[in-house]
């Protein structure tokens, strides 16, 4: 039997939060349904962030009410204790906290030091554990910070350990700006696996520079079996045509299915879900696999005469 790899779909949160076009609740539930239909069983569905900061996700509680009874694992990002309480009251059974690795990033993002940001995460983790709610903890900018450059792995291990000690169930090592490179990924993932065990780790990769799948493969080699991905590669810079954001779910699932892993996800239906996203956003979306998938017969014939 082939080995199982778990995909956590983050398009509805990490993908949409950056979309200039407003997606109404109905659009979100349609995307969710198409993904569930394809076999996606784990979603980071939304964020209980301030509606003023991210208007796109202002309907977090409504979305949870709409999809909360589905037979899948749903989580929601919470930026602080207030967000946590909103999430809990909306029936969320698993929350995600975010901790960036550098002083500059935390200062610019949430006006806290790393120590303060860690404390804020720990307070959410403690509250959630007391309420019997699961917690995933992102170590954001685990590879590089846009302000301070490459991040030392020891910082990542230290922050991970502190959040696990506080009670987090899982650490998601996030290449927030898609700046990780292969050698670094090899060290970081192997080091994290040896310290914390692959079971408690996930990789959250962005494909900004086209390296998402290479880094995913390296994580897989290191033993990691949990990956975030975003349908259609949603989450790219909206001002950069063609620039991808999160690693596209369809690219990752295709590579995993081809690589002999079991994802439980149907590629054909996943590509249909990309179509739903395109219809709702009224723009062309999709990972690298999409153009080929959509014209694969032509390609096979065309290419037949070339080395």
Strand partners, 149: 145
Report if residue 34 touches a second copy, rule: CB under 8 A.
no
Within positions 112 to 131, which residues make up the interface with a second copy, using CB under 8 A? none
Token digits of residue 24: 């109404």
Report if residue 190 touches a second copy, rule: CB under 8 A.
no
Report if residue 55 touches a second copy, rule: CB under 8 A.
no
Report if residue 206 touches a second copy, rule: CB under 8 A.
yes
Distance CA 130, CA 113 (A): 26
Decide whether 138 or 157 has the Cβ nearer to a second copy.
Answer: 138
Decide whether 36 or 128 has the Cβ nearer to a second copy.
Answer: 128
The DSSP H or E segment spanning 6 is strand 6-9
Distance CA 140, CA 245 (A): 15
Decide whether 29 or 50 has the Cβ nearer to a second copy.
Answer: 50
Decide whether 36 or 47 has the Cβ nearer to a second copy.
Answer: 47
| Closest approach of a second copy to the CB of residue 305, in Å | 5
Respond yes or no: is residue 121 known to be catalytic.
Answer: no
Distance CA 20, CA 2 (A): 40
Cβ atoms of 49 and 77 closer than 8 Å: yes
Task: Single out the residue of 185, 176, 182 nearest to residue 207, CA to CA.
Answer: 176
β-strand pairing of 149-150 with 73-77? unpaired
Exactly one of 121, 145, 237, 295 is catalytic; which is it? 237
Q: Which stretch binds a second copy (CB under 8 A): 24-32, 35-43, 80-88, 232-240?
A: 232-240
| Closest approach of a second copy to the CB of residue 195, in Å | 20
């Amino acid at each position: 039997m082939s080995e199982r790899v778990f995909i956590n779909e983050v398009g509805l949160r990490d993908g949409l939060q950056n979309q200039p076009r407003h997606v109404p609740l109905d659009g979100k539930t349609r995307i969710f349904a198409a993904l569930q239909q394809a076999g996606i069983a784990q979603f980071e569905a939304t964020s209980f962030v301030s509606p003023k900061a991210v208007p796109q996700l202002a309907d977090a509680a409504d979305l949870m009410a709409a999809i909360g009874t589905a037979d899948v694992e749903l989580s929601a990002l919470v930026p602080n204790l207030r967000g946590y309480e909103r999430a809990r009251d909306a029936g969320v059974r698993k929350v995600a906290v975010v901790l960036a690795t550098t002083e500059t990033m935390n200062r610019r993002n949430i006006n806290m030091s790393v120590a303060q940001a860690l404390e804020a995460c720990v307070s959410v983790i403690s509250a959630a554990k007391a309420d019997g709610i699961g917690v995933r903890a992102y170590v954001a900018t685990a590879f590089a910070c846009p302000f301070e450059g490459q991040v030392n792995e020891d910082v990542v291990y230290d922050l991970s350990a502190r959040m696990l000690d506080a009670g987090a169930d899982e650490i998601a090592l996030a290449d927030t700006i898609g700046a990780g490179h292969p050698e670094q990924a090899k060290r970081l993932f192997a080091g994290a696996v040896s310290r914390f065990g692959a079971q408690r780790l996930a990789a959250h990769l962005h494909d900004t520079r086209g390296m998402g799948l290479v880094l995913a493969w390296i994580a897989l080699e290191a033993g990691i079996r949990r990956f975030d991905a975003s349908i259609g590669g949603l989450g790219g810079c909206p001002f950069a045509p063609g620039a991808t954001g999160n690693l596209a779910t369809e690219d990752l699932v295709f590579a995993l299915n081809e690589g002999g892993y079991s994802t439980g996800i149907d590629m054909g239906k996943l590509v249909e879900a990309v179509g739903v996203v395109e219809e709702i956003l009224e723009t062309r979306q999709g990972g690298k696999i999409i153009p080929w998938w959509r014209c694969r017969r032509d390609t096979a014939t065309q290419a037949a005469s070339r080395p």
